[in-house]
Amino acid sequence: MREVQAVLGRRKPARDVARRDFAQPRRLGPARLAELALALENLLPALEKKLAESWGLTAGATLAGLGEEDAEALFDGVAEPLCVQRFRCNKLPAWLAWEPDAAVAVVEAILGARGASAAAASARALSPTETRIANQLLSEIVRAVVGALGLAAADFALVQVASELGSWREAGAEAQSHRLEVRLALDLAGRTSTLRLYLPGIEAGKERALAPLGELPAHLERVEVELSACLAGCEISLDQLLALEEGDVIPLEARLGDPTTLSVEGLSVAQARLGSHRGRLAVRIERLSVQPEAA
């Protein structure tokens, strides 16, 4: 009885035991979150460039954080008018929330407002034309972000009233309330704001172990091999092929986030995804597939 009373009367948590709010979803470990963060950080330089080219505005983007949320109460108590983009991510309900006053300022800048008038913009309902502009802008950002995470997005709609937000339950039998929250600090037209994306379908990931390779002989250590990544191809007519000249540009359908295969002398060694690193085209390895006997 004394032992029970001692336990019940404990006022301080046991040492070396971290406090945990079990009301909050926790599916992704630190290693998985770090993996997702790296994919997003590699994406951001290309995203900044694309936004600047598409909209004629100075653009800056940084990853402000990753977290996990329960979609049941994402927008409880949020005041209208909202600025939330509703879309489907891998066919499941997803959302992007933007600060309404920042949305107004950026849209007004796109339409021609400059300087103090854009900076002083306050939250209000967007007009139909402004809504279309904001929806298109946010759609570009969402496609880039979900592509970097190996997902796909469609069916974009900008909503300004809570009754049009929809619910995570719309997915039916596949419905799950867990969402990855991606926070992006966005600087457009001199207005800094935060975008919050709530994405479904992010798995915890599994540890992948490869059979250990034998020790490489010393005389082979400095042998160089050619590592290649296969990008998307295109079809051209024979006369177009024969007419090619130095300096011609052949557009490809490859986009950031698309899958690609890495190979060495015809041997596939890894699966990867296209991205960028410090402004240069790059690939991020997702799965190694080389076998010891093949190596």
| pLDDT bracket for residue 199 (50, 70, 90) | very high
139-151 pLDDT, tens digit each: 999 999 999 998 9
Quick one: average pLDDT of 127-133? 95
What mean pLDDT comes out for the span 8-13?
51
- Cβ atoms 88, 78 nearer than 8 A: no
Least confident window among 109-118, 182-191, 218-227: 109-118
The domain ranges of the chain are 30-199, 226-236+253-295
User: Cβ distance 60 to 187 under 8 Å?
Assistant: yes
Domain 30-199: give its CATH code: 3.40.1550.10
Nearest Cα to Cα of residue 82 among 165, 188, 206: 165
- The predicted pLDDT at position 258 comes to 79
- 126-135, 190-199, 208-217, 265-274: least confidently modelled range: 208-217
Higher pLDDT, 86 or 123: 86
Phi, psi (rounded to 5 degrees) for 147:
-65, -40
Q: Are strands 191-199 and 178-188 parallel, antiparallel or unpaired?
A: antiparallel
- pLDDT on residue 196: 97
**What's the whole-number average pLDDT of the chain?**
82
Higher pLDDT, 119 or 148: 148
User: What pTM value is reported for the model?
Assistant: 0.63
Q: Encode pLDDT of 35-64 as tens digits.
A: 999 999 998 998 999 999 888 888 999 999
Give residue 241's pLDDT band: very low, low, confident or very high (50, 70, 90): confident
CA 233 to chain CA mean position, Å: 25
Q: How confident is the model at residue 93 (pLDDT cuts 50, 70, 90)?
A: very high
| Identity of the highest mean pLDDT range in 16-30, 170-184, 237-251 | 170-184
Question: If residue 94 lies in a helix (H) or strand (E), which one and from where to where?
Answer: strand 92-98
pLDDT at residue 182 is higher than 80? yes
Q: Rounded mean pLDDT of 100-114?
A: 89
- pLDDT (mean) for 76-87: 93
- To the nearest whole percent, how much of the chain has pLDDT over 70? 83
Walk across the sheet containing 84-89 and list its strands.
Answer: 59-70, 178-188, 191-199, 92-98, 84-89, 153-159
- Lowest average pLDDT, out of 63-77, 96-110, 256-270, goes to 256-270
| Between 200 and 171, the higher pLDDT residue | 200
